[in-house]
């Protein structure tokens, strides 16, 4: 039995005004080829299929086309909802896709036994029990109680999520007992766990007041396939818990990451897990430099480009040149006539981020929302719990604004394409 674990496709994402449609299409063609080449029996996509709750039509077309192109291989596909996904959008084609060898779990099911999926091997025999857990919203697993402290709410939510996992794990074990089998058990999830490495493109999840779930709370499954964190990694745990990461770099700080999938193989109760390297479909890089050194740092990057490719570039100018008021035209002149698109230019700042007054002296284009929020928060005298509550509300509001902005940009791009 061979299973590919992937996640965080973010179909429909626009990267500083650039569409990722070509990259996503190339990735999915490559993925279909890997299924054939590696004789893969199933693919698990652990959440964030789309980048927004209202994905543009071309993103839905990519999703549907992938499912169609996967059919000749006979590979089973399991789609899990993530925090970026709308359960309603994923559910609208759920019944139809069951006819195309695809199981969609958009959110927690009223009957949790529907989250148990039996995956078959190439001969059509049951070979793995999958306990499919999508992104868990607090209302999915916990009833709100008035008068609780933030600490108590977090403890209750940790326990509720742990109970949900334990309930599904027990159902998976019951399947084995009822059918007198010893099939391996895989579980999924879309959440942040304690101690993982994140990137700036990961939108913080605040499930109620929960920021991160403890790895020790997961059941002792044979493999736990997680999504949400964009860097592939294995957790330091007695249970085999892994993030596959995103298939393409979704922010400049992911540019140096080697994107990958996990291939899980079960053979006579023996399990092996290996990394499958994903090609880079769009080169991008972030350079921290002064003006004099910029050309020399760009040259080796350009030497790696394939014919016809263009490098998407972020330039962080060091403090020695950061005072210049005409920084943008100077940098553009140094990059002129090169296969480079300068998508982001900013000045280096100290690690503290600076005070609100210092940030006011910086171009808004150089700031992230988190920079402004943390500086503003520092102006107030608040308890740690108040800061946590306000930050959770800020993340929720920011997520809605970002989703609306992404949707407007997608609709604009679609209008231009039709014109």
Show me where the domains of the chain are located: 2-277, 283-348
Tokens read off for 58: 């071309």
Q: Which residues are CB-contacts of 70 (< 8 A; sequence separation ≥ 6)? A: 32, 35, 43, 77, 101
Listed residue (312, 356, 367) closest to 335, CA to CA: 312
Q: What is the CATH number of domain 2-277?
A: 3.60.21.10
What's the CA gap between 306 and 76, in Å, rounded?
34
How far apart are the two ends of the chain, measured CA to CA in Å?
Answer: 48
Query: In 137-247, which residue ranges form alpha helices assigned H by DSSP?
Result: 138-141, 150-178
Q: Taking a C-beta distance cutoff of 8 angstroms, is the pair 205, 186 a contact? A: no
Q: How far is CA 153 from CA 112, 148, 207, 369, 386, in A?
A: 23, 6, 10, 27, 14
pLDDT at 209: 43
CA-wise closest residue to 185 among 227, 240, 128, 263? 128
Is 206 in contact with 230 (CB distance < 8 Å)?
no
Cβ–Cβ < 8 Å for 69, 28: yes
Q: Are 102 and 93 in contact (CB under 8 A)?
A: no
Number of Cβ within a 10 Å radius of residue 189: 28
Burial class (CB in 10 A: 0-12, 13-18, 19+), 11: buried
* Domain 283-348 falls under CATH 3.30.160.720: yes
Tally of helices (H runs) and strands (E runs) in the chain: 11, 17
Q: Is 249 exposed, middle or buried (0-12, 13-18, 19+ CB in 10 A)?
A: buried
For residue 395, the tally of other CB atoms under 10 A from its CB is 18
pLDDT at residue number 402: 59
Continuous segment of H or E residues that includes residue 107: none
Contact predicate 159/215, CB 8 Å: no
Q: From CA 367, how far away is CA 382, in angstroms rounded?
A: 24
Question: For residue 208, what pLDDT is reported?
Answer: 45
Nearest to 378 by CA among 398, 399, 353: 353
Burial of 371 (C-beta count, 10 Å sphere; 0-12/13-18/19+): middle
Which residue's structure tokens are 């996509």?
Answer: 45
**Residue 347 has which token pair?**
């000045």
Nearest partner of 413 among 58, 10, 65, 89, judged by Cα: 58
C-alpha separations of 100 from 65, 71, 94, 134 in Å = 12, 7, 10, 20
Token pair recorded at residue 286: 């972030």
Alpha carbon distance 136, 151 (integer Å): 19
Mean pLDDT (10-residue bins), the chain, 419 residues: 97 92 97 97 97 94 97 97 94 95 95 95 95 90 69 79 95 96 96 75 53 86 95 91 95 92 93 96 93 93 93 90 82 93 84 52 56 68 65 69 59 53
CA dist., res. 168 & res. 54, Å (int): 30
| Radius of gyration, alpha carbons of the chain | 23
Bridge partners (DSSP) of residue 274 are: 263
231 near 249, Cβ under 8 Å? no
Q: In the numeric block, which tokens belong to residue 340?
A: 């480079």
Q: What's the whole-model pTM score?
A: 0.82
> CA dist 312 to 237, 304, 307, 385, Å?
37, 13, 15, 40
């Amino acid at each position: 039995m061979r299973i590919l674990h992937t996640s965080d496709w973010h179909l429909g994402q626009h990267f500083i005004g650039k569409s990722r449609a070509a990259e996503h299409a190339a990735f999915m063609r490559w993925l279909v080829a890997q299924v054939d080449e590696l004789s893969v029996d199933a693919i698990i996509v652990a959440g964030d299929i789309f980048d927004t709750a209202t994905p543009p039509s071309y993103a839905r077309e990519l999703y549907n086309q992938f499912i169609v192109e996967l059919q000749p291989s006979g590979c089973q596909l399991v789609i899990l909802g993530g925090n970026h996904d709308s359960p309603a959008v994923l559910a609208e084609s759920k019944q139809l896709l069951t006819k195309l060898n695809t199981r969609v779990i958009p959110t927690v099911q009223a009957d949790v036994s529907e989250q148990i999926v039996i995956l078959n091997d190439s001969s059509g025999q049951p070979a793995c029990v999958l306990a499919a857990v999508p992104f868990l919203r607090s209302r999915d697993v916990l009833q709100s109680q008035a008068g609780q402290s933030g600490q108590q709410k977090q403890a209750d939510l940790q326990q509720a999520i742990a109970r949900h996992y334990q309930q599904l794990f027990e159902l998976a074990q019951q399947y084995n007992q009822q059918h007198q089998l010893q099939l391996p058990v895989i579980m999924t999830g879309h959440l942040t766990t304690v101690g993982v490495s994140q990137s700036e493109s990961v939108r913080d999840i605040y499930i109620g007041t929960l920021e991160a779930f403890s790895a020790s709370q997961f059941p002792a499954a044979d493999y736990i396939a997680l999504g949400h964190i964009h860097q592939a990694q294995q957790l330091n745990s007695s249970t085999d818990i892994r993030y596959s990461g995103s298939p393409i770099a979704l922010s400049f700080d992911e540019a140096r990451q080697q994107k990958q999938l996990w291939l899980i193989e079960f053979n006579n109760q023996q399990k092996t897990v290996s990394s499958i390297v994903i090609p880079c479909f769009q080169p991008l890089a972030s350079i921290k430099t002064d003006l004099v050194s910029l050309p020399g740092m760009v040259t080796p990057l350009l030497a790696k480009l394939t014919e016809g490719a263009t490098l998407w570039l972020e330039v962080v100018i060091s403090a020695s040149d950061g005072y210049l008021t005409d920084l943008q035209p100077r940098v553009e002149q140094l990059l002129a006539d090169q296969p480079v698109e300068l998508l982001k230019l900013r000045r280096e700042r100290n690690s503290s981020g600076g005070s609100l007054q210092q940030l006011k002296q910086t171009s808004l284009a150089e700031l992230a929302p988190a920079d402004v929020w943390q500086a503003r928060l520092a102006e107030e005298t608040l308890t740690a719990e108040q800061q946590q509550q306000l930050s959770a509300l800020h993340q929720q509001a920011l997520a809605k604004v970002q989703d609306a902005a992404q949707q407007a940009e997608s609709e604009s791009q679609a209008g231009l394409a039709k014109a």
